[in-house]
Amino acid sequence: MPRIKVESDKCTGCRLCEMVCSLHHIENTFNPKRSRIRVFTMGDHCYPVIAGPYTEAECTAKTDVVIDGRQYDGCITCRASCPAKTTFKEPDVDIPLKCDFCGEPPDPQCVKICPSDCLTLLED
């Protein structure tokens, strides 16, 4: 099963991944809110998050993540599309979005475009 490794320390926050994802999935369209990868900036840190599976119920285990001794909202860095979030859903219609690795065989456009080598495709 393919996976994408994210090294957020390398991320500069340029969001080219969001752009190419949006374009790949919707013809002639650039819309970060419909992208299956999002880059969130919290404090000094940019955190790319790739849309995971939809969960029907909101979780109860909202824990914050600690990076370099700083606390970040774990809900924001969580990959799931869930009822508590507006991210990773089609705007207006709320249909959940999930990364599909840009087809079969996997050819994730975000990995291809990332200028800071922050994303790597892993297959095992």
Cα-based angle 81, 26, 15 (whole degrees, multiple of 5):
65
x-marked contacts with another protein along 33-72 as a string, rule CB under 8 A: xx-----x---xxx--------------------------
- Nearest-approach distance from CB 123 to another protein, in angstroms: 23
19 binds another protein (CB under 8 A): yes
The DSSP line for 62-102 is ---EEETTEEE-HHHH---B-TT-STTB-TTT--B----TT
Could you identify the residue written with the tokens 């299956």?
A: 36
Which CB atom, from 4 or from 22, has the smaller least distance to another protein?
A: 22
Comparison of 27 and 124: residue with beta carbon closer to another protein: 27
DSSP letter at 27?
Answer: T
For residues 75 and 121, which CB has a smaller minimum distance to another protein in the complex? 75
